[in-house]
Amino acid sequence: MEYRRMNDVCYIRVDKGEEIIEKILEVCEEEGIGSAFFTGIGGCSKAEIQTFIPEDGSFETEVIEGMLELINITGNVVTDEDQLFHHTHAVFSYKENDEHRMVAGHMKSITVLYTAEIELRPVIGGVIGRKHDPETGTGFWDFE
């Protein structure tokens, strides 16, 4: 990974074999960023996609592998008791049996095949926190 901070924006290049979300959080730690938004594109080899199951408050995970064109990754980073959390969604295209397919969803992890180019925009003038919602078992933004 390599990145540059230009004005208030971090431009991150994630390299082959690296995990995208891990690198985004690493840049936030290094730069002292407590909350941010990000978007990007790239070529990936593996993605762990999660679907939230409200009935039991858990996530179901599906792993896809191969040449995955990262059409878009978008998400945010927030802070809860000095720990960073991400909420990330992505869309991929790929070929299966000579047909183009697409898959999208909430992301647990994404491994780069060639490169990924991420634009990370820190929140200016404050930090967005995270609070636990007991009804759903997930975390939501906290503005206090």
pLDDT at residue 133 is higher than 90: no
Question: Domains of the chain by range and CATH?
Answer: 2-142 (3.30.1330.80)
For 32-85, what is each residue's pLDDT tens digit? 999 999 999 999 999 999 998 888 878 899 999 999 999 999 999 999 888 999
Tell me how far apart the terminal alpha carbons of the chain are, to the nearest angstrom. 34
Give the separation between CA 36 and CA 2, rounded to whole angstroms. Answer: 18
Name the pLDDT band for 134 (thresholds 50, 70, 90): confident
Q: Are 83 and 127 in contact (CB under 8 A)?
A: no
Give the separation between CA 60 and CA 134, rounded to whole angstroms. Answer: 19
> For residue 52, what pLDDT is reported?
85
Query: Measuring CA to CA, how many Å separate 59 from each of 48, 64, 69, 105, 132?
Result: 11, 16, 24, 12, 16
pLDDT at residue 89 is higher than 80: yes
pLDDT at residue 137 is higher than 80: no
pLDDT at residue 11 is higher than 80: yes
Query: What average pLDDT does range 72-99 have in this prediction?
Result: 95
> For residue 58, what pLDDT is reported?
82
